[in-house]
Amino acid sequence: MSKRVLVSGGAGYIGSHVTVELIQAGYEVLVADDMSNCDLTCFEGVKKITGREDIPFVKMSFCDEAATEKLFSDWKIDAVIHFAAFKAVGESVEDPLKYYGNNLNSFVNVIGAARRHGCRNILFSSSATVYGEPDKQPVTEQTPRKPSTSPYGNTKQICEDILRDCVAAYPEIRGIALRYFNPIGAHPSALIGELPRGVPNNLVPYITQTAAGRRECLNIFGNDYPTPDGTCLRDFIDIVDLARAHVCAVARMLDDKMEKEYEIFNVGTGRPLSVMELVNAFQKVNNLKLNYKIVPRRAGDIIAIWADPTLANEKLGWKATRTTEETLAAAWAWEKHLMGKN
């Protein structure tokens, strides 16, 4: 009997890629999503990639405690990966209560229901946001967390603390937090990818939409940072590589390989890339010329951050393998797929 993994927020960008990798690794997957930040495009793409039309899907909000309870009582769930959260940094600054209400309550409900229904294994989708502007690079899991610059980032820190404290208090559960760096790209099939609603908050969808003519111009926020080319440095991680890390973390839990009841792993490449390097790589690999302009710095952007992924490499047996060129080619193939549908 294969193990069943609940993917909360599984119709979204990261959730859909993780669902594909879990199914291809032999797990049964239950997808639940309130569809507030996505449509069924990626879920339908997941079915095509995996050849599985029977993937169970439940439309629900994890802020609804009764619905969450029912989900765990209706299904035998061996592990849960929790993605369901609002994620726009700017919006969180403008409407913090929306973010604290949704992101914290949904996770509290998931942990409570998991605990009551014998689901030991909880994997939390965290973020490198928790490090703030680090004092030295690269960051390890021991790098101190800094006060967050946004309510969104703060919800990631608080959810990590909730998981840590619950694991310490309740011996029947254990947890892993994966701290992602900057996920980019799309599945090589071009059937699933990042599908932002409205104006993209992330760099790569803005690049691909500008290349497609959907956006007039790409704004590059600041070229006067203390970096080699003046633009911010980030650790851009391919979405499929990121998804594979979740499969490794779930296996670590289900195979009883965890060394502590609560573990944290950085999920990044360990290679910093500047915003300008990424833009130039996209133009080169896809043989395109992008319309872009340098504009003033954006509030809240940190100068540089990249991961030391040694712990994930050693303990999870995971490593980022896809090249920047492969990632950016896949991102453009996905955008063209969307253009073909429109």
Share of the chain above pLDDT 70, in %: 100
Provide the b/e sequence for 239-261 (b: ≥16 CB within 10 Å): bbbbbbbbbbbbbbbbeeebeee
Structure tokens at 156: 């990631």
Q: Which of 27, 43, 2 is nearest to 187 (CA)?
A: 43
Determine whether 306 is exposed, middle or buried from the number of CB atoms within 10 Å of its CB (0-12, 13-18, 19+).
buried
- Write out 293-305 in H/E/C secondary structure: EEECCCCCCCCEC
Residue 320 lies in a domain: no
Residue 282's closest CA among 339, 215, 206, 217?
Answer: 206
Kindly state whether residue 11 falls inside one of the protein's structural domains: yes
Burial tier of 203 (Cβ tally within 10 Å: 0-12, 13-18, 19+): buried
Q: Between the CA atoms of 87, 219, 280 and 136, what dihedral angle is there, to the nearest 10 degrees?
A: -60
Distance CA 196, CA 218 (A): 16
- Token readout for 317 is 């047996």
Q: Which of 30, 122, 29 is nearest to 70 (CA)?
A: 30
Q: Within a domain: residue 241?
A: yes
User: Which pLDDT band, with edges at 50, 70 and 90, does 95 fall under?
Assistant: very high
Residues in CB range of 153: below 8 A, 6 or more apart? 89, 92, 127, 129, 130, 132
Predicted confidence (pLDDT) at residue 228 exceeds the cutoff of 90: yes
> 55: exposed, middle or buried (C-beta count within 10 Å: 0-12, 13-18, 19+)?
middle
pLDDT at 199: 86
Per residue in 8-36, pLDDT (tens digit) is 999 999 999 999 999 999 999 999 999 99
Give me the domain span that covers residue 180: 4-186+237-268
| Residues 6+ positions from 299 with CB-CB distance below 8 Å | none
Q: Give the pairing of strands 4-8 and 218-221.
A: unpaired
Asked if the model's pLDDT at residue 342 lies above 80, the reply is no
- Hey, is 208 helix, strand or coil? helix
Residue 197 is predicted with a pLDDT of 85
For the entire predicted model, the pTM comes to 0.98
Facing residues of 273 across strands?
A: 234
Please indicate, yes or no, if residue 137 is contained in any of the structural domains.
yes
* Pair type for strands 233-234 and 273-274: antiparallel
DSSP code string of 23-81? HHTT-EEEEEE--SS--SHHHHHHHHHHT-S---EEE--TT-HHHHHHHHHHS--SEEE
- Total number of domains constituting the chain: 1
Token pair, residue 190, equals 């071009």
Q: Report yes or no on 278 lying in a domain.
A: no
pLDDT band at 53 (very low <50, low <70, confident <90, very high): very high
What is the Cα–Cα distance from 222 to 215, expressed in whole angstroms?
Answer: 19
The tens digit of pLDDT for each residue in 145-197 reads 999 889 999 999 999 999 999 999 999 999 999 999 999 999 999 999 999 88
**Does a structural domain hold residue 103?**
yes
Mean residue pLDDT across the chain:
97
Q: What CATH number does residue 125 fall under?
A: 3.40.50.720
Q: Exposed/middle/buried for 313, CB within 10 Å: 0-12, 13-18, 19+?
A: middle
So which residues are the catalytic ones? 152
Query: Is 90 in contact with 152 (CB distance < 8 Å)?
Result: no
Number of H helices, E strands in the chain: 12, 13
In a domain, 310, yes or no: no
Q: With H, G, I as helix, E, B as strand and everything else as coil, classify residue 317.
A: coil
Closest among 270, 212, 214, 211 to 237, alpha carbons compared: 270
Question: Does 83 map to a domain?
Answer: yes
